[in-house]
Amino acid sequence: MIEVKFYITTAIPYVNAAPHIGHALEFVQTDAIARYHISLRDDVALVTGADENSLKNVHAAEAKGITTAELCEKNAAVFKEMAEKIGLSFTSFKRTSLKSEHWPGVQRLWELCAKSGDVYKKTYRGLYCVGCESFYEESELPDGLCPEHKKKPEAVEEENYFFRLSRYQADLEELIESGRLKIIPEKRKNEVLSFIHGGLQDFSISRSVKRAKNWGVPVPGDETQIQYVWFDALGTYLTGIGYGTDEKHFEKYWPAEVHVIGKGILRFHAIYWPAILLSAGLKPPKSVFVHGYITVEGQKMSKSLGNIVDPLALIEKYGADVVRYYLLSEVPTFDDGDFSEKRLIEKSNTELAANVGNLVNRTMVFLANNFNGEIPHAELGETEKTFLEAQKKQMELISSHLDELRLKDAMDSTMAFSSNANKFFQDAAPWKSIKEDRAKASASLYVLANQVKDLAILLSVPLPNTSESIFLQLGMEKKAWKDLGVLSLKPGHKTGKPSILFRRLEYKS
């Protein structure tokens, strides 16, 4: 078997504040894609981490009266905890302030761009938003305010290094138009292309040691300058798989199959980043997946409104899978969505418990009560065969959604798969046939047990804990995607003990 590698990343979040539900969305989306490829038996690398070299962190640390290093260490640990608790299957959590791990790679990246003649020094005057860590043109600022932060950017004038982005206009157009770099969804691709068509300006990739408060990755060969935080943060996608420290590992995984990002940082990933890579003689990533933002009960999350949703608290209260389910099934994959705790509870009760939980429990309990927990011998009739054929089509549909990264569609189709199996249970009515026609009841339960097994495989992508619990109840090892549709639970197999997957939740406001 040829081993296929699959490299996916989350954006590398700033750690100046605690993680919110938007970070959780990105982790869960990234993880669902990664787990699909793990189940396909691909060799998966998933890089996440902490973007620590920003001015925001310096300011946040100053406000707290601690060192920037202390702040970063403390906050990065919270992000890492969230990544672990929500089940993000990362292979590397990269902190950009760690000298030995991250700096050699991004300094080399700089040197390669310089060698290509794409790095030059000039005096720059511009409007800088610290929140975005980005310069803006006057024309990009409605009412003179940053569109993301609604704050007036500060005027900055100093000598910086610039990256010759203008040189890559045609290359980038070709790269994106041809689909060699896929921007998903299509509307984001169009957004990027129209920005490129508008003409690309060279951009600053360093700042003075003084303005950076001596925090960040030094520019090779110039001790008066620090790398612009975006330059080094993007480099995490390289250093996370060993660039600058473990070349063999890097060569194995680069280029990335997917960078998962929020819509606010599209330009950095679809324009700046591939241009930097081309300049350095490295391959561009294959795709950029762009998700939207999350409002809370219809309002934008903000400190002043006090409505920031802490994913760790949610996981503590409801468990990771209920939170994952909400983010994958309620939030549109490529658009903005809303979070409401009441809705989360409603969905857990009416969808997870009443559909998935019900199917698994009624099947397991019926097997335990009527077949001593053993998979029965069965002759399949037309009814069973037709049903299995239809469910096979349903599983193919789920695979095609996942291949195209349509996560909500995949989640919805997985729930439909479970509903279909529940309907089969209802129509077969084994509680009746067990008394009148035991062979018929055996055929129904043989099919249903194998459906539960298929559901466990399907759920290993969105709801890994639930999947694990189902395999445990079935008394079998975890199965991979290729086992879908295979009647691998054989007559005579002894199942495990039935247990409740989702308890009924009450809403307390």
Read off the amino acid at residue 483.
D
Both structure tokens of 337: 């969505």
The set of residues, in sequence order, having a beta carbon less than 8 Å from that of 242 and lying 6+ positions away, is 248, 249, 250, 253
Q: Which of the ranges 144-152, 241-249, 260-268, 425-433 carries the binding residues for Zn ion, by CB under 5 A?
A: 144-152
Q: Which of the ranges 75-83, 143-151, 328-336, 461-469 carries the binding residues for Zn ion, by CB under 5 A?
A: 143-151
- Rounded CA gap, 34 and 13, in Å? 19
Answer for which of 12, 55, 127, 129 binds Zn ion (CB under 5 A) is: 129
Query: How far does Cα 391 stand from its chain's mean position?
Result: 28
146 part of the interface to Zn ion, by CB under 5 A: yes
Q: Tokens 């995949």 identify what position?
A: 410
Across-strand partners of 50? Answer: 95
Across-strand partners of 163? Answer: 119, 203
Both structure tokens of 162: 């610039």
When the beta carbons of 148 and 247 are compared against Zn ion, the nearer one is: 148
Q: Which of 56, 146, 259, 269 is catalytic?
A: 146
- Measured in residues, the chain has a length of 509
When the beta carbons of 151 and 210 are compared against Zn ion, the nearer one is: 151
150 part of the interface to Zn ion, by CB under 5 A: no
148 part of the interface to Zn ion, by CB under 5 A: yes
Residues 68-107 that bind Zn ion (CB under 5 A): none
Residue 72 among the catalytic residues: no
**Per-residue buried b or exposed e for 181-220, using 16+ beta carbons within 10 Å of the residue's own CB:** bbbbbeebbebbbeebeeebebbbbbbebeebbebbbbbb
Residue 113 among the catalytic residues: no
393 part of the interface to Zn ion, by CB under 5 A: no
| Closest separation in Å from C-beta 292 to Zn ion | 18
Answer for which of 131, 185, 220, 496 binds Zn ion (CB under 5 A) is: 131
Q: Which of 115, 149, 187, 497 is catalytic?
A: 149
Q: Which of the ranges 148-156, 195-203, 291-299, 335-343 carries the binding residues for Zn ion, by CB under 5 A?
A: 148-156
| Closest separation in Å from C-beta 128 to Zn ion | 9
132 part of the interface to Zn ion, by CB under 5 A: yes
Residue 197 among the catalytic residues: no
260 part of the interface to Zn ion, by CB under 5 A: no
DSSP structure string for 315-382: HHHH-HHHHHHHHHHTS-TTS-EEE-HHHHHHHIIIIIIIIIIHHHHHHHHHHHHHHTTBPPP----H
| Closest separation in Å from C-beta 87 to Zn ion | 31
| Closest separation in Å from C-beta 151 to Zn ion | 6
| Closest separation in Å from C-beta 298 to Zn ion | 23
149 part of the interface to Zn ion, by CB under 5 A: yes
DSSP 221: T
Determine the 3-state secondary structure of 203 from DSSP.
strand
When the beta carbons of 300 and 342 are compared against Zn ion, the nearer one is: 300
Query: In Å, how far are 38, 119, 124, 505 from 356, measured between CA atoms?
Result: 23, 56, 59, 15
Q: What is the four-CA torsion angle of 110, 195, 237, 226, rounded to 10 degrees?
A: 40
When the beta carbons of 148 and 222 are compared against Zn ion, the nearer one is: 148
CB 146 within 8 A of CB 131: yes
Q: Which of the ranges 141-149, 180-188, 319-327, 369-377 carries the binding residues for Zn ion, by CB under 5 A?
A: 141-149
When the beta carbons of 128 and 231 are compared against Zn ion, the nearer one is: 128
When the beta carbons of 155 and 313 are compared against Zn ion, the nearer one is: 155
Residue 129 among the catalytic residues: yes
Residue 132 among the catalytic residues: yes
Q: Which of the ranges 49-57, 145-153, 276-284, 487-495 carries the binding residues for Zn ion, by CB under 5 A?
A: 145-153
Contacts with Zn ion by CB under 5 A: the residue count is 6
| Closest separation in Å from C-beta 134 to Zn ion | 7
When the beta carbons of 146 and 378 are compared against Zn ion, the nearer one is: 146
Both structure tokens of 454: 């298929």
When the beta carbons of 154 and 222 are compared against Zn ion, the nearer one is: 154
Region of residue 49 (left: phi > 0; alpha: psi -120 to 50; beta: else): left
| Closest separation in Å from C-beta 131 to Zn ion | 4
Q: Which of the ranges 146-154, 291-299, 378-386, 488-496 carries the binding residues for Zn ion, by CB under 5 A?
A: 146-154
- Rounded CA gap, 357 and 470, in Å? 10
When the beta carbons of 132 and 176 are compared against Zn ion, the nearer one is: 132
When the beta carbons of 81 and 148 are compared against Zn ion, the nearer one is: 148
- Of 398, 22, 47, 58, whose CA–CA distance to 216 is shortest? 58
Residue 146 among the catalytic residues: yes
Q: State phi, psi for 184 to the nearest 5 degrees.
A: -115, 130
| Closest separation in Å from C-beta 322 to Zn ion | 33
- Of 253, 245, 335, whose CA–CA distance to 286 is shortest? 253
| Closest separation in Å from C-beta 16 to Zn ion | 13
Q: Which of 102, 129, 182, 189 is catalytic?
A: 129
| Closest separation in Å from C-beta 145 to Zn ion | 9
- Rounded CA gap, 378 and 392, in Å? 19
Q: Tokens 């990027």 identify what position?
A: 192
Site for Zn ion, rule CB under 5 A: 129, 131-132, 146, 148-149
- Active-site positions read 20, 23, 129, 132, 146, 149, 300, 303
